[in-house]
Amino acid sequence: MRMATLLWIIAVILVISGIYVILARRDLLWGIVLIVIGFLVGPGGVSIFNV
């Protein structure tokens, strides 16, 4: 349970930072990369730690 919460928090931080990069820095590629990594790490998505 503790690991799932930690992964969820990391995923949220990655997605929010990806949105920030897209909106504030106008760097679409890095923003998309951060958002996709956030979705891969998150426990609701395809977690890379559950392989």
How confident is the model over 9-32, as a mean pLDDT? 92
CA atoms within 13 Å, Cβ hemisphere of 27: 10
pLDDT of residue 30: 94
Q: Are 38 and 15 in contact (CB under 8 A)?
A: yes
Label residue 6 by pLDDT band (50, 70, 90).
confident
pLDDT at 34 over 70: yes
pLDDT at 44 over 70: no
pLDDT at 17 over 80: yes
Question: Of residues 47 and 35, which shows the higher confidence score?
Answer: 35
- Crossing angle between the packed helical segments 28-41 and 2-24, to the nearest 10 degrees: 170
**In the chain, where the domains are located:** 3-42
Question: Of residues 49 and 14, which shows the higher confidence score?
Answer: 14
